[in-house]
Amino acid sequence: MKLVVGLGNPGPRYAQTRHNVGFMVIDQILRLCPGPKQQEKFAGLFNRIFIDEQPLALLKPTTSMNLSGIAVAQAMSFYKLPLENLLVITDDMALPPGKLRLRRCGSPGGHNGLASISSHLASENFSRLRVGIGPPNLPDPADYVLAEFSDQQWPSIAAVLDRAAQAVRCWACDGIDVVMNRFNAPEEL
């Protein structure tokens, strides 16, 4: 089994914010590949689905973003998964809206959700799918990530959610090397 974790903040106040794009990708996957009703498990909302006969666990931590590692560590420990079976989906201010970047591993890059996961797993050696939310146009980056996308940004975000769901499917079936070659645009390498 493989585990896909979408990062975000719980609650309706944050549902459509830039920081919740990881949750949005999980929701898109569930629209395309319906599974059983989400259940509360591992300090998050959990589903188990199959993509081309590959079992895939989907997790949206219900802790705050900065404590996402708690949920990820619980799920990884319960299923005794190796790090190469983990994919974390998160927002990235360094990428323009609508762009994806997949990596086999790497530093948190200032993202507190990734830092929490790295800390709880005692490793940065897990794959991540970063979804571009664009550079902040507000003085405080926290205000920017906790704001909703503009009306002008929604078309590119809607398209990237579908593309990100396709990337997750590719990762689940074909692995990180194939998905990086297929979904990372040349200018993002």
> In order of start, what are the domains of the chain with their CATH numbers?
2-188 (3.40.50.1470)
**What end-to-end distance do the CA atoms of the chain give, in Å?**
28
pLDDT tens digits along 151-169: 888 888 889 999 999 999 9
**Residue 120: active-site member:** no
Indicate which residue of 2, 19, 99, 169 is catalytic: 19
Query: Which letter does DSSP use for residue 104 in this model?
Result: S
4 vs 11: CA distance, rounded Å: 20
pTM of the model: 0.93
Q: pLDDT of 17-67, one tens digit each?
A: 999 999 999 999 999 988 888 899 999 999 999 998 889 999 999 999 999
